[in-house]
Structure 1
Amino acid sequence: MANPSEHLLEAFRKTIQKLKNDAPYQWGHMGACNCGNLAQQLTKLSKAEIHQFAMQKSGDWNDQLIDFCPTSGYPMDLMIQRMIEAGLSIDELKHLERLSDPKVLQHIPFEKREKIKKNRREDVILYMETWLELLETEYIDHLEIHIPENSKKKIFA
């Protein structure tokens, strides 16, 4: 699972909220698809800028993630690197674009999971909300491990 941080969690929350409020969504557009919408929040680039960067190389998000090279100098690779630095992995980004991570899907009720489509806004929102819940739980668990026992009482009281 991703390495959750406040920055990553907030990017997920904002992406979900924007999608719920009818932010541009188009699965075939590199800046307005599943990864593109999250990339907007993590990189502060516009959908047009992301799409422009993506068009400098060939392929969709999955292809560009396979070909990712942090030292290539391509803007798309630099953007992917920023997403990795925010706590995501290449595999997680591939799964996000296809809504296919088994760890996330297992937490979606079966009847919804069986009908999920990678290019349907409401399914992207469901997937990201589910993933966010998992990340928040992991983040809280990580915090609790690193908080001295006597401090927990003050923080969680």
Structure 2
Amino acid sequence: MANPNIELIAALRTTATRLKNGAPYAWGNHGACNCGNLLQVITDLSKEEILTYAHSGIGEWTELAEDYCGVTNAPVSLLLKKLQDAGLTPTDIHHLEYLDDRQVLNALPGGFRWLKRNQREDVILYFETFALLLEDQLIESVPLPKMDFEIEEMVI
């Protein structure tokens, strides 16, 4: 699963908010799909710029992520590097496009259910739930100092 961090959590929430507010969405467009919308937030690139970079590779985000080589200088590798620098793995990128990470789906309000990859409302719900899940993991990872004190009973 993704590396939980404040920047990724914020990017997921911002992307969900942008989609709620009518940001262009088209699952079949590299610049306006699930990963494309997240990349717009992470990189400040437009959907047109992302589309241009993405077309320097072959396939959908899932294939591009699987073929990713961190050594090449191809523009699509820049986009994938940005997603990975944000804390996502190639597997996470696949799950973002298809909305199918079981951990995220199990954490959905109301319990597990399958979501549709090309439905704006499902993408918003998935991104918000993913952000909450990562936030919980981040909070759990913060070490708290042990406190040695006794609580006295309060008499009211």
Measured against the shorter chain, the TM-score band is 0.7 to 0.9
Counterpart in the other structure of 2:58: 58
Residue-pair matches, total = 146
Instruction: Tell me which residue corresponds to 1:96.
Output: 96
Paired position in structure 2 for 1:148 = 145
Q: Which has the higher helix share?
A: 1
| Post-superposition CA distance 1:96-144 (Å, at most 9, x none) | 100011111112235x724x2100000001111111110110111112x
Residue 149 of structure 1: CA displacement? 3.6
In 1, Cα distance between equivalents of 2:10 and 2:38: 11
Aligned to 1:47: 47
Do 2:8 and 2:86's aligned partners in 1 also have CA atoms closer than 8 Å? yes
Q: TM-score, normalised by structure 2?
A: 0.88
Alignment TM-score, normalising by the size of structure 1: 0.87
Give the Å deviation of 1:148: 2.7
Provide the rounded CA distance (Å) in 2 between the counterparts of 1:5 and 1:107. Answer: 18
Alignment of 1:80-119 (within 5 A): 80-108=80-108, 109-110=110-111, 113-114=113-114, 116-119=115-118
Stretches (4+) displaced over 3 A: none
Structure 1 unpaired stretches of 5+: 151-157
Give the match for residue 155 of structure 1: none
RMSD, aligned CA: 1.4
**1:113 partner SS:** coil
User: Structure 2 CA distance, aligned partners of 1:2 and 1:66?
Assistant: 16
Percent pairwise identity? 45
- The equivalent of 2:35 in structure 1 is 35
